[in-house]
Amino acid sequence: MTTAAAAGVNARSIRRIALSHKLSRWDVRFSPYLYISPFFVVFALVGLFPLLYTAWVSVHDWNLIGGQGDFVGLENFSTVLAQPYFWTSLRNTFSIFLLSSIPQVLVAISIAAVLDFNLRGKTFWRMGVLLPYVVAPVAVALIFNDLFGDKYGLINSLLTDVGLGPVRWHVDVLPSHIAIATMVNFRWTGYNALIFLAAMQAVPRDYYEAALIDGASRFRTFRSITVPLLRPIIIFVIITSTIGGLQIFDEARMFDQAGQGGANRQWQTLTLYIYELGWNQRNFGRASAVAWLLFLIIIVIAILNFVITRRIAGASERRLRQKGIS
């Protein structure tokens, strides 16, 4: 009797232990997924769903207010691909992207290299570099519009004073791109510089000391040690600035009062074109088609960037290894 009872209790507690084992095994196995799930839940809601829904909209006639119309297949895509403004805005997007991203990465990495020296008042300089990032892009645009005015702008006044003709910032294609790229660079260079700086500080100082003892110049150490070891960060910065650069909107929209990228679409980017189709012409179907084309373009460019930068950086790293540094 007592033994039977004891056996019963025992069996129960064994079962309980077994259950608690099982639970804690599940805990170990599944909890991590639960912990990171909020990000994916939110992403599915605000990222994946709009993406798929946009694809759905893009194959329909769709008015901003009226909503869904007839299914039209790929007609929206073929219509926008036949519009000259689509190709103009594609050209503008790439031109502004190249004019902003390339100088941005080069200047950012140089600024980071300078900040990496032992400067007096380190924090002051680092915060100073980040300051433009804190300013809202619209505010940046307002300030730069005073500089880039065609008739009464500061830059043109200076140019006229030194005897050069005024530049028609809002009329000619390239000047307008340069002006917009300047705003973008003003905002993002410091931010990227700080990312580079963080990576540079992780580079072991021994390498530099060894190289300096061997008689390498500052520039040489930068080129042969810093840049190759920054490879993953360079790839990261280039990919993020590609995504950002192909989606430039605020600066271009704020560049004049109409916000459509100029009378001849001199500086209309693809995102502005989407806005014009969707909110000005109320044609959500076509706007969604362009949005999807932009999405595909970004993916292609990002992959291309990844491959190219990996190859370039990989080559210099191999060189490094041959010299026995890494």
Partner 1 sequence: MKRIPRPTLTATIVGAASFALILTGCAAGTGSTAAKDEKVKLTVATFNEFGYDDLFAEYEAANPNVTITHKKAATSNEARDNLTTRLAAGSGLSDVEAIEVDWLPELLQYSDQFVDLTSDDVKGRWLDWKAKAATDADGHLIAYGTDIGPEGVCYRSDLFAAAGLPTDRAEVAKLLGTSWDSYYAAGKTFEAAGTNVPWFDSAGATWQGVVNQMPNAYEKKDGTIIATENPDVKKAYTSVLAASSTLSAHLGQWSDDWTASFQNNGFATMLCPGWMLGVISGDAKGVTGWDIADTFPGGGGNWGGSYLTVPKQSKHQEAAQKLAAWLTAPEQQLKAFASKGTFPSQVDALASDKLLGATNEFFNNAPTGQILANRAAAVDVTPFKGTHYFAINDAMQQALTRVEDGTMTPDESWAQWTTDVKALG
Q: Which is nearer to partner 1, 24 or 217 (CB)?
A: 24
Contact window for partner 1 (CB under 8 A) among 182-190, 192-200, 241-249, 276-284: 276-284
Indicate whether 10 belongs to the interface with partner 1 (CB under 8 A): no
Helix, strand and coil in the chain, % to nearest 5: 75, 5, 20
Is the Cβ of residue 87 or residue 124 nearer to partner 1 in the bound state? Answer: 87
Q: Interface residues for partner 1 in 145-164 (CB under 8 A)?
A: 145-146, 149-153
291 in Cβ contact with 56 (< 8 Å): no
Which pairing describes strands 60-63 and 67-71: parallel, antiparallel, or unpaired?
Answer: antiparallel
Binding mask 92-131 for partner 1 (x = CB under 8 A): ----------------------------------------
CB 51 → partner 1: shortest distance, Å? Answer: 19
Q: How far apart are CA 249 and CA 283, in angstroms?
A: 19
**Of positions 10, 13, 31, 201, contacts partner 1 by CB under 8 A:** 31
Pick between residue 70 and residue 209 the one whose CB is nearest to partner 1: 70
| Residue 60 or 170 having the CB closest to partner 1 | 170
Contacting partner 1 (CB under 8 A), which of 8, 12, 18, 24? 24
Long-range contacts of range 37-46, CB-CB < 8 Å, 24 or more positions apart? Answer: none
Cβ-based nearer residue to partner 1, 193 or 277: 277
Q: Are 112 and 129 a contacting pair, CB within 8 Å?
A: no
Fill in the amino acid letter for 152.
Answer: Y
Q: Which is nearer to partner 1, 119 or 142 (CB)?
A: 142
Pick one of 56, 71, 87, 279: the residue that binds partner 1 (CB under 8 A): 279
DSSP character for 61?
A: E
Cβ neighbourhood burial of 230 (10 Å; 0-12, 13-18, 19+) = buried
Q: Where are the beta strands (DSSP E) in 54-188?
A: 60-63, 67-71
For the CB of residue 29, give the shortest distance to partner 1 in the complex, in Å.
11
Site for partner 1 in 33-62 (CB under 8 A): 34-35, 37-38, 41, 45
Q: Which stretch in 51-59, 189-197, 278-286, 315-323 sits in contact with partner 1 by CB under 8 A?
A: 278-286
Contact flag: residue 256 with partner 1 (CB under 8 A): yes
Tell me whether residue 9 or residue 142 sits nearer to partner 1 (CB atom).
142
Sequence-ordered list of residues with C-beta below 8 angstroms from that of 192, at least 6 positions apart, any chain: 104, 105, 108, 237, 241
3-state secondary structure 238-270: HHHHHHHHCCCCHHHHCCCCCCCCCCCCCCCCH
CA 177 to chain centre: 18
Residues that bind partner 1 (CB under 8 A): 20, 23-24, 26-28, 31, 34-35, 37-38, 41, 45, 64-67, 83-85, 145-146, 149-153, 168, 170-171, 256-258, 260, 262-264, 279-282
